[in-house]
Chains A and B, each alone.
Chain A
């Protein structure tokens, strides 16, 4: 019987191939949507997982999360600089690191922060943490060598930002991969960012020119002549004793000591000019939106699958019609009805199963490709993978197609051989 089925499929290879491809693409669509959505969810959750609490100025929670955790360039309102000093001194806080953005270098965001972050976010893979104003540590995904001099561009070069000529950062260390957007970041001392943008906190003029990234600076209009660039001494030692006079900040990443501390801190820093958020919580809200999008895409995929199932069914029923004589002859030579049923069912089921198999492979490949593209752009690693529950859906699909394949098989089973031979 196997030989007969194989000979049959070989004979009808073109039609069989079309059926396999149709099914493969319909399956791949559904698989890719599911995998990609899961990867996005998992990847962003993992990326946000390293950041327990983010404190920023009141505004959009989502924007705060996107800017601080995922390093999306966007203007954030600033909060008073003294918040950092308060948080750093808080006994419930393990470490608190400021985040200041605005500059970039060949597509990599330059993020001003403190040694608290560079030592705690991940271990250094090579080199050492910055110790002077003119030094920088790069994420694992930044393809620059140690010792390289980075000349920051104001804003994004692609958007026509000018290059700061006052200071070049020398790369002194590279962090291990974290699977977050920070893998693509160039981390520099925040003092340098402040100074570069003429906001030199306690050292320079006390104008609090909160201009770190073209933010609409609430209330501080006293900043004359575009953004005045301050002088920065690259060999100046770091001063991480945050005082009340520190300039305004877009965000502070906080690692609380315990979960209870985290909740208390969040409560304490909501209101009074600050907004504290749990990245996980904000992500959950984002996922609700993502879930809606996924539902739409899934509906499209399911629609495509139903169309393909109908097309395949139609083709096979027509095909059975054309093979009436052959099936009648099989019966006439003594093949039992069960053999006819098995042949027709197996032929179709083999094609469908092949299609589903290829579909999963294509869908997996497509999701991998999309994830790799996304990771290259954002630094966030999107883990594409099947989970145990997928086995259930595979089983469901296979079972469903087995039933579907039964329809033409029963048609052939019930066919009278005498009538088929006369046709």
Chain B
């Protein structure tokens, strides 16, 4: 479970006058469940890239997860840190065809040479937890809802301190979307992960503790959203 402190975050692209993301400071408590919303182009994806260390912010900014400031890390260091601490779930899954469900779950750990002896068992356990039982089913034969559940299991394999989901329900029908939303929240609780969800889906964002709304790269509103939890 990791807390987050952002300060002086600014991301600009050459040719654009104003920065696509400009956040002077933002703090998220460890274990909280945050929704990030905003119109398209408001900087949500850039924020995900910054939080996961996929993208660098301008010099002077800091991205402090727990004790680690990933803004100062090397590319290799950020890759390693991300693999160990962040579980990432994306709108279009990014599962790898040709591999089975369980192989997909284990792939990032294998590629990072970070496999632990218990990981295959944990992968099966997670697969069961997201409601799937055919571990060796090829990924391309699954429905979209099932794929997103495999993606959730993959994100949780290495017990990440943070779970970040980028539009996890946007490409699913409402029934699968509900299931995925429920799984995300339940599993982040049981795995003691901080949860950050970028989403337009009110059924998902409505169940989270706090909602940050971005507009033109800035935080437009930030309020607690307690009434629905319970």
Q: Which residues of A contact B (CB under 8 A)?
A: 1, 3-4, 7-8, 10-11, 325-326, 329-337, 339, 343, 416-418, 421-422
Contact = CB atoms under 8 A, between A and B. Distances in A.
A330 to B, nearest CB: 7
Contacts of B110: 1, 4
B94 A332 contact: yes
B66 interface: no
A75 B96 CA distance: 74
A418 B49 contact: yes
B103 A3 contact: yes
A4 B106 CA distance: 11
A339 B107 CA distance: 11
Given A7-B96, A8-B98, A332 B154 contact: no
Interface residues of B, number: 29
Contacts of A8: 96, 98
A413 B209 CA distance: 39
Given A331-B79, A418-B49, A3 B99 contact: yes
A278 B88 CA distance: 81
B79 A335 contact: yes
Nearest to A333: B108
B54 A334 contact: no
Contacts of B193: none
Contact of B94 (A7, A10, A326, A336): A326
Contact of B88 (A1, A7, A333, A343): A333
Interface residue SS majority, chain B: helix
A11 B108 CA distance: 19
Nearest to A422: B45
Contacts of A421: 49, 54, 90
B111 interface: yes
Contact of A333 (B45, B55, B80, B154): B154
12 contacts: A4-B99, A326-B96, A332-B52, A332-B82, A333-B107, A334-B82, A334-B86, A336-B79, A337-B79, A339-B112, A418-B55, A421-B54
A334 B79 contact: yes
Contacts of B82: 332, 334
Q: Which of B45, B94, B103 has the most CB of A within 10 A?
A: B94
B131 interface: no
A326 B49 CA distance: 16
A322 to B, nearest CB: 14
A333 B98 contact: no
Contacts of A325: 94
A339 B52 CA distance: 19
Given A7-B98, A418-B49, A333 B83 contact: yes
